[in-house]
Amino acid sequence: MEEITLFVKLLQSTISPIVLISGVGLILLSLTNRLARTIDRSRTMVHELENDDGSEKEKKRLQLRILFKRSKILRHSIVAISFSILTSSLIILVLLIMNLLKIDLEWLGIIFFFFSIIGIILSAIFLFIDVSLTLKALEFEVEGHI
C-alpha cells in the first residue's frame, strides 16, 4: 500500500510541470509557425528582388531586412521558450529524485522553476518585438494603397 501512496504522491507532484510544458509547447508551436512564415516570405522577397528591375527594389530590400531581423528575434524567442521546457523537465526529474530517494532538493526545484518562468517572460518579450516589427513591415507594404 505504501508503494501506491508513493506513486500517487509522485504523480500529483509532477502534474503541474507537465501542464506547464504542455502550455509552453503550444507557444513554441506558434513561434515556429511564425518563423516558418518569415522564412517563406523572405525567400519570396529574394526571388522578387532577383527578377525585379523596377522602382520597388529599395522598398523590398527594406522589407527583407525587417524579415531577417524578425527571424533572428523569433529564434531568440524559440530558444527562450525551449529553455523553459528544459527547466520544467528538470523540475520533474528533481521531484522524481526527491520522492524516490527522499532527498531534499526543494531549492533546486525552485531554481529550475524560476528559470522556467524567466524563459517564458523572455520569449514573450521577443514575441512582442516580433509583432511590432510585423506591423512595421506591413506599413511599408500597404503604404500608398490606403
Q: What is the pLDDT of residue 1?
A: 65
Asked whether 42 and 68 are in contact (CB, 8 A), the reply is: yes
Domain spans, the chain:
2-142
Distance CA 14, CA 9 (A): 9
Q: What is the pLDDT of residue 51?
A: 84
| pLDDT tens for each residue of the chain, 146 residues long | 677 777 777 777 778 888 888 999 999 999 999 999 999 999 998 998 888 777 778 888 888 999 999 999 999 999 999 999 999 999 999 988 988 898 999 999 999 999 999 999 999 999 999 999 999 888 877 877 77
Q: What is the pLDDT of residue 109?
A: 92
Look up residue 5 and give its three cell numbers.
501512496
Mapping DSSP onto H, E and C, the string for 73-120 reads: HHHHHHHHHHHHHHHHHHHHHHHHHHHHHCCCCHHHHHHHHHHHHHHH
Distance CA 75, CA 83 (A): 12
* Tally of residues, the chain: 146
